[in-house]
Structure 1
Amino acid sequence: MTKNVLFIMCDQLRWDYLSCAGHPGLDTPHIDALAKRGVRFDRAYVQSTICGPSRMSFYTGRYVSSHGSMWNNVPLKVGEMTLGDHLRPLGVRTALCGKTHMSADAEGMKRLGLAPDSTIGALVSECGFEPYERDDGLHPSTSYGKRNKAYDDYMKDRGWEDENPWESVANSGEDADGNILSGWFLDNSDAKARASDEESETPYITRRSMDFIQEAGDTPWCLHLSYIKPHWPYIVPEPYHDMYPPETHQPVLRSDAEQTDPHPVFGAFMEERVSKAFTSDITRTKVIGAYMGLIKQIDDQMGELMAFLDAKGLTDETMIVFTSDHGDYLGDHWLGEKELFHDPSARIPLIVVDPSKEADATRGTVSDALVEAIDVVPTILDYFDGAAVPHIIEGKSLRPLMQGKADSLRDFVISEYDYSFRQARRRLGVSVAEAKLTMLFDGRWKYVFAEGFRPMLFDLQADPDEFNDLGDDPHSAQECERLQNLFFQWTRRISQRTTMSDAEIERRGIDLNEARAGVLIGFPTEADLEAAFAAAGEKPKR
């Protein structure tokens, strides 16, 4: 049987904005159906709470401090192995439809003589994926993002003559007088997008993924279908734009006490422009209505996509991974965007459907095991019967959990964030080198090591909403010390010796290997050399 993988990622989808995760006002039946066919991992965390570094961890199976792409547009260095590098030797076509937020290591490629338009250069430039259609969305009319000419041409064929239809059509509305209402402005979020549902980004990239699957034929494939939404601009076409009035929204998750003497870094992020914008109930209500509409549109497209797989007879041979690169505060904790480590930001939806018979026993279950984004690559590699490479991939395959062979994979999860690019750093007077946060969560205690400041600490058993920071509570000093020791244990891991496995070192580490190679160290006489070889049942080579 041919094996395939459909690796679906949403952008900025919170873990709790699905009906299968308990959202009371949002019905996502098609995503819920995936959960019924597989396992929903309820405690999944990203390795960074911002797009670029999070995705680089998803694609390499490595922690952020291991792969080094610490923030958006910090290039992933040449030489980091990605999902495609692991799968191509197995004969698996590994392709992209949608977003990666990858920045190529142009200087490293130039140093090595890799032309971006060469076969290898293109793969290195595209995070190891064959770029069937890359569409990052973000700012395509500026240097920040990449313009997707294919989408522009599609919209032109639909009759739109706008220079940049992504921005002025798909992500803008218009008022009664025909004036353009840019989706970049949060208070325009309740407008319906000028594009029709069919023309908007989510259905478009779904259709392109179907094109790839149709084209791939019988070749084993791994397709990364990577949606741009529900990431901002928060604007959605009809009929989704007014589906979710305020009574369907979850109440804002914040406490007045959080603003009283907050941790300095937390306080600095409360002062960010986007955080202040979300303190307005009017703005927040408009954004959340659109955010929920964008998720509903994605769910409807999941229905289209699953029906397509059924029609092609591919359902029973295709592993499906459904996840997100991080969450969205949406005004919770007095914050907008993502970046810090409260659950609305760092916790993600993760559903895995493994069609193998070995996974039948866990279908439709919810796992409370602590899992990480870096577990996706080894899970997919495992599904294709690839050899484990733990000296390269730091994540762990989820398949033992899905086959009922394990209850847990780890004692804690890690997430890292480099805030050196943010105004919060300047507001705090912190140097670029010191603007580093690391979260460690052991299932109850969430500990944040903040370079140059006291730690943050939350007891999610007593305080599931994470309102009460115990980082400076003397009664919690012992807990902080315990978690700090776990953190420093993690920092001492070996993560850069990726060119030789532990097994190879073990093989080479036999006492006489150097002597066999003619390097004679520690033998006082030739007789000692001959005695050592005789004890091993060998004769020294001359």
Structure 2
Amino acid sequence: MCIYNSRYLCSTRALTNETPLRDAEENLGMHLQDAGYNPGLIGYNDYVRDPATLPHGHPQKTTPCYDNVLPGFDWILFHDEYTSPQYLQWLREKGYPEGILDRIRISLPDVPPEGPGEHLPLCFPAHYKAEDSEARFVTGIATDWISRRKGCGWFLSLNYIKPHSPRICPSPYHDMYAPRRMPEANRRPGELDKPHPYYQLMAAEKQLENDSHLRETRANYYGMISELDACLGTLFEFLKTSGEWDHTLIVFSSDHGDYLGDHYLLDKAHFFDETMHVPLIVRDPSPEADGTRGTQLEGLVESIDIAPTLLDFLGRPKPDRFQGSSLLPAVRQAVPWQGKESIHFEADFRTRSTVPPGLHPDECLFWVIRDHQYKYVQFASPAMPPLLFDLQKDPGEFDNQADNPGNSAIVADYCQQMLRWRMRFEDQRMEHWAANHRRR
């Protein structure tokens, strides 16, 4: 959600998909409306409405539902995970059998009747052809929508599910990459077998211990990325042939990474870099960006920086409640840029089935501060000591240095940094209002 509202999670407390978002109107979509745009959204954005704003008897007042769209956005197509009613109807019209046209079965690979054998099911292709995949369908919806706005200002939030689970690829992407050629996992035998309570939580979630299954999962992930890359190529070619390319800003990113067996984990969560480090590509069509075009800028940035960047491109000031910073000065080399001194991350793990007994739900929380030298993890529970990783000496994050007496000053310093950050980004709307309207 911070991609849209440019706010740290500590200021919204919307840390899970099921957590309602207060003040939802203060998001990128509403500010784009103020700029004269009618922003479109294809896919999903996992937004739960604040129950306090809903009338009595509304079903979402007592049952969390994140199948909503943020205020300010025109919901062109709701396409959650790998399907939507429109997509299933599209396949039906193409002659696909009714037996696979439901939310569950369309997301399952076409495993032969005798079963997958020694392989994971994800090694087998989807039931549909590549040109009929959900990613191609969503891309077509996007190009159709843009074509109707040719020559006019437009904004589109295009949200693909890939390379997210369920892990499935159509041919030829399902076996495009050989499992034997996949990179080794970032892990050590026994690395989760530590007395720290949070490591016990992670140890209870160990996955992909089998090396062949790990490699198959990685090959599948690479295939999903290549399929998505082909769809983006189709989209970009459309922008070029339609005359939209030369004045369209494109920001490509993701909301989280995937362990793929690193640290014996799968999917997202926890505090390792694999879940925090995501792609961020900014394609600025302006001539001022020619100096950095095609290059990789080294520096720390955060997801909250995306919305200010988009508004900056339109010449709009950063809204008062946005906590990120525009990246256009870096892209255009307007000022010397080194990135942020540190980045921040937090997670609430009260809903995980492996939570150690005895923890109060409100103690199931950790904050992370990361810079180029260290990563510091602070837990809310006194039963969970802090963690400290020296990223220069230990980039794989295997050796906790927080319990080393020689590092006590470093731990104290990062704890202070975290406290100052938390104080700085409290909700200070009323203080700002009072300061701006105080009698002089």
Same fold (TM over 0.5): yes
Q: Does 1:283 align with 2:217?
A: no
Match in the other structure for 1:188: 121
Q: Which runs of 5+ in 1 are unaligned?
A: 1-55, 117-123, 139-146, 512-542
Partners of 1:458 and 1:398 in 2: CA distance: 28
Q: Percent identity?
A: 31
Q: Is the 8 A contact 1:101 1:136 kept in 2?
A: no
1:472–1:131 Cα change, 3 Å: same
1:407–1:167 Cα change, 3 Å: same
Q: Deviation per CA, 1:360-400, whole angstroms, max 9, x where unpaired?
A: 222222222210000000000111111222x3101111111
1:346–1:428 Cα change, 3 Å: farther
When the two structures are superposed, what TM-score results if normalisation uses the length of structure 1?
0.74
Partners of 1:76 and 1:239 in 2: CA distance: 40
Q: Is the 8 A contact 2:180 2:215 kept in 1?
A: no
Greater RCO (CA < 8 Å, at least 6 residues apart): 1
Match in the other structure for 2:139: 206
Matching residue's letter, 1:393:
F
Aligned-pair CA distance for 1:210 = 0.7
Match in the other structure for 1:493: 424
Match in the other structure for 2:93: 157
Alignment counterpart, residue 105 of structure 1, candidates 47, 50, 53: 50
Match in the other structure for 1:430: 359
Structure (1 or 2) with the larger CA radius of gyration:
1
Aligned residues: 429
Normalized per residue, the structure richer in strand is: 1
Q: Does 1:167 align with 2:112?
A: no
Q: Is the 8 A contact 2:24 2:70 kept in 1?
A: no
When the two structures are superposed, what TM-score results if normalisation uses the length of structure 2?
0.91
Pairing of 1:25-40 with structure 2 (within 5 A): none
Aligned-pair CA distance for 1:496 = 2.1
Q: Deviation per CA, 1:241-264, whole angstroms, max 9, x where unpaired?
A: 111112331101101252342532
Q: Is the 8 A contact 1:268 1:428 kept in 2?
A: no
Q: Is the 8 A contact 1:172 1:193 kept in 2?
A: yes
Q: Deviation per CA, 1:26-57, whole angstroms, max 9, x where unpaired?
A: xxxxxxxxxxxxxxxxxxxxxxxxxxxxxx11
Partners of 1:334 and 1:170 in 2: CA distance: 25
1:114–1:363 Cα change, 3 Å: farther
Aligned-pair CA distance for 1:505 = 5.0
Aligned-pair CA distance for 1:106 = 4.4
Q: Is the 8 A contact 1:263 1:456 kept in 2?
A: no
Q: Does 1:58 align with 2:3?
A: yes
Match in the other structure for 2:80: 136
Q: Is the 8 A contact 1:78 1:108 kept in 2?
A: no
Q: Does 1:380 align with 2:310?
A: yes
1:260–1:79 Cα change, 3 Å: closer
Partners of 2:29 and 2:5 in 1: CA distance: 9
Pairing of 1:3-402 with structure 2 (within 5 A): 56-110=1-55, 125-128=68-71, 129-137=73-81, 148-160=84-96, 161-162=98-99, 164-176=101-113, 187-261=120-194, 263-272=196-205, 275-276=206-207, 278-389=208-319, 391-402=320-331
Partners of 1:101 and 1:463 in 2: CA distance: 35
What secondary structure, in the 3-state scheme, does the structure 1 residue paired with 2:326 have?
A: coil
Matching residue's letter, 1:451:
A
Match in the other structure for 1:444: 373
Partners of 1:428 and 1:220 in 2: CA distance: 54
Matching residue's letter, 2:182:
H
Aligned-pair CA distance for 1:499 = 6.8
Q: Is the 8 A contact 2:14 2:20 kept in 1?
A: yes
Q: Deviation per CA, 1:316-348, whole angstroms, max 9, x where unpaired?
A: 100010111100111111212210121111111
Matching residue's letter, 1:190:
C
What secondary structure, in the 3-state scheme, does the structure 2 residue paired with 1:233 have?
A: coil
1:137–1:251 Cα change, 3 Å: same
Moved over 6 A (4+): 113-116
Aligned-pair CA distance for 1:77 = 2.3
Partners of 1:506 and 1:156 in 2: CA distance: 60
Q: Is the 8 A contact 1:173 1:194 kept in 2?
A: yes
Alignment counterpart, residue 349 of structure 2, candidates 413, 419, 424: 419
What secondary structure, in the 3-state scheme, does the structure 2 residue paired with 1:446 have?
A: strand
Which moves more between the two structures, 204-213 or 158-167? 158-167
Partners of 2:174 and 2:68 in 1: CA distance: 36
Partners of 2:166 and 2:309 in 1: CA distance: 32
Partners of 1:195 and 1:328 in 2: CA distance: 25
Partners of 1:362 and 1:216 in 2: CA distance: 30
Q: Which runs of 5+ in 2 are unaligned?
A: 61-66
Aligned-pair CA distance for 1:131 = 0.8
Matching residue's letter, 1:478:
A
Matching residue's letter, 1:374:
I
